[in-house]
Amino acid sequence: MVKIIQNSTIAFLIILLSLPVLSQEQKKMKWYSIEEAVGLNKKMKKKNRKKIFVDLYTDWCGWCKKMDANTFTDPVIVEYMTENFWPVKLDAETNDTITINGQEYVNPKPGARRSSHQLAVALLQGKMSYPSFVFLDEDVKLITVLPGYNPPEKIEPILHYIAEGAYKEESYQDFFSNFKGSFGE
């Protein structure tokens, strides 16, 4: 009987000690709608507002699914984006009406095959490519667009470049040449 209690106690301690590891592995990106992200910034003091990262995807895009599976589940990327951006997912073919700063955006052909939403067209400046990532400043002004699939080690320096405001002062090449990231690059 004592042996059973000892074994049960040891098993319980192992489970208890592994909980922090399990919770770290399960941390997921919290995605917002663009309207939520803009609204959150409006509620904050200017110094606490964040830039907005918009993941423009479609349901049929294989590379979009790969970004979701590989890049947006990486703990380094999840943590950095959560701390420094409002991460937004936007289906570029959604039929939803989206209102930002009083401007209403719609899908001009709701239900039609591969009909791009007006907001997606505006954000991508008509260059429709998926996945594409749009960086907006705290006032919802376009900083830049990043088209195509990016694994975690490639997107990490870009996230830092934008979040730290380095894009205002130096070229990406100069920034990247001095960047020491989490992936040993």
Indicate if the pLDDT at residue 17 is higher than 60.
no
Indicate if the pLDDT at residue 25 is higher than 80.
no
> What DSSP letter does each residue of 65-94 carry, written as one string?
HHIIIIITT-HHHHHHHHHHEEEEEEETT-
Sign of CA dihedral 144, 149, 150, 152: positive
Indicate if the pLDDT at residue 5 is higher than 70.
no
Q: What mean pLDDT do residues 10-14 have?
A: 50
**pTM here?**
0.84
**What CATH class has 28-177?**
alpha beta
> How would residue 23 be classed by pLDDT, with cut points 50, 70 and 90?
very low
The radius of gyration of the chain from alpha carbons, rounded to an integer in Å, stands at 20
User: Rounded distance, CA 100 to CA 31, Å?
Assistant: 17
Q: Which residue has the tokens 């110094």?
A: 47
Indicate if the pLDDT at residue 21 is higher than 80.
no
pLDDT digits (tens, 9 = 90+) for 132-178: 999 999 999 999 999 999 999 999 999 999 999 999 999 999 999 99
Residue ranges per structural domain of the chain: 28-177
Q: Average pLDDT of the chain?
A: 89
User: Rounded distance, CA 60 to CA 174, Å?
Assistant: 36
Q: Which residue has the tokens 């380094």?
A: 76
Q: What mean pLDDT do residues 46-56 have?
A: 95
| Length of the chain as a residue count | 185
> How would residue 47 be classed by pLDDT, with cut points 50, 70 and 90?
confident
Contact 116, 128 (CB under 8 A): yes
